[in-house]
Structure 1
Amino acid sequence: MTDAGVRDRSTAGPGLRERKRAAAKAHVAEVAIGLFFERGYGEVSITEICEVAGVARRSFFRYFATKEDALLEPIRAMADLFEGAIAGAPAELDDGAALDHALRALGVHVVEQWAWLEHYFRMIEETAALAAAPELQLAGRERAVAGELLRRRGETGAADWRLRLRVGCGIAAFRVWLDDMRAGAAVEPVAHLDRVLAALRAG
């Protein structure tokens, strides 16, 4: 392989070290959440997570600041998926269509993972230590999403109220759909999400 080929690979995505670290972090989070499901969040210690995951405590703390931080890793992964879908939306889509494109991508992910996500969301709600977690504060997430929409059109600065309102309404629509999923009211989940988003666009 040529030097140019090496450079192309290194700039196309995360390097090998970053990918290994991400995989190790995901493994520890997966083990932790599996133990939480099995025994209850409050009954699992960081030491036990490390023993089952086969990592040292210092390795755990390289990835996560606390046990709660490990529990929130799937939320961060979904946020990354959502914002990545906005960044990767077709260039011809306007802001509203790009947002809907990303919400649908997130919805498909949720449906595919629903067998365990249903239990995961319940555990999140029942964990008092997470009540003030920044990852669960939608206002901050809405600002990040609005910023991503600006970046995809090559703009900088703060989003105006119209864009923030559209993002807030889109996230609220997704939350309504998720509530229907949890209540068993979404017989065809992705089609139902399409209907919810279409209703939002119709005003």
Structure 2
Amino acid sequence: MGITSLRDRKREQNRIATVRAAWTLFIERGYDHVTVGDICVAAEIAPRTFHRYFASKEDVVAEPVREMTTIVTEFVTGAPAGLSDRQVLHEAMVRVARYVVERRDLLIALRTVAQQSSHLKASQVAVRTDVEPDVAALLDARHPDGEPGQWRRRLLVGCTTAAFRVWYEDFLRGDLPDPIGHLEEILAAIGS
């Protein structure tokens, strides 16, 4: 048990070191001028180790999106039963916003890297629309006696993630005096 736990921790440390090395190189040189080999040298890992964690260097750029998605899905899955779907999504978005606030400089830099690359889609790094059906399914699972795939839940997820993307762009564009308060205001507009 201890060896597995130690091995898992070491793998996660290697993965994090790989991500940090890659982001540093992307920011310094630009995405198009960094190879997987460059990342491996900077992270002091073998290419085989890199590919254990990532299929390509583009997956490294998408890491914040994966982390944001994990924050949402883990909260929705473990949310207290007494919360409404709206409250669950609201709290999940606030948790993602805290993640974004803590990593603002990095996310701005990565967005710039994506926009300057001829190979990357200059997509916004936020909660992706393609995971919305998964989040709606997690909400459905919170209501075992209810109607699965209810359109209202899908609409609520779509509106909530769209509201988050509006906040995300506002936040990255400039300093908001109260970023979480601004998100709360935007999320409240969904119910208006």
Normalising by structure 2, we get a TM-score of 0.86
Contact kept, 8 Å, 2:68 with 2:126, in 1: the verdict is: no
Matched to 1:39, the amino acid is R
What secondary structure, in the 3-state scheme, does the structure 1 residue paired with 2:27 have?
helix
Partner of 1:54: 44
| Matched positions, count | 190
Structure 2 stretches of 5 or more lacking a match?
none
How far, CA to CA, are the matches of 1:139 and 1:157 in structure 2? 22
Shift of the alpha carbon at 1:128? 4.3
Partner of 2:150: 160
What secondary structure, in the 3-state scheme, does the structure 2 residue paired with 1:199 have?
helix
Partner of 1:83: 73
Matched to 2:93, the amino acid is L
Matched to 1:118, the amino acid is I
> Structure 1's 137 and 188: CA in aligned 2 closer, same or farther, altered over 3 A?
closer
Partner of 1:115: 105
How far, CA to CA, are the matches of 2:181 and 2:76 in structure 1? 20
How far, CA to CA, are the matches of 2:127 and 2:98 in structure 1? 22
Partner of 1:183: 173
Match of 1:139 among 119, 129, 135: 129
C-alpha RMSD of the superposition: 2.7
Structure 1 stretches of 5 or more lacking a match?
1-5
Normalising by structure 1, we get a TM-score of 0.82
Bigger shift: 174-183 or 113-122?
A: 113-122
Shift of the alpha carbon at 1:153? 3.8
Identity %: 37
Structure of higher RCO (CA pairs closer than 8 Å, 6+ residues apart): 2
Q: Deviations over 1:121-173 (max 9, x none)?
A: 2323444434399x989332111111121233447995221111100000010
How far, CA to CA, are the matches of 1:157 and 1:195 in structure 2? 30
How far, CA to CA, are the matches of 2:138 and 2:85 in structure 1? 10
Partner of 2:82: 92
Q: Deviations over 1:45-90 (max 9, x none)?
A: 1111111101011111111111111221221111111211222322
> Structure 1's 17 and 158: CA in aligned 2 closer, same or farther, altered over 3 A?
farther
Contact kept, 8 Å, 1:89 with 1:101, in 2: the verdict is: no
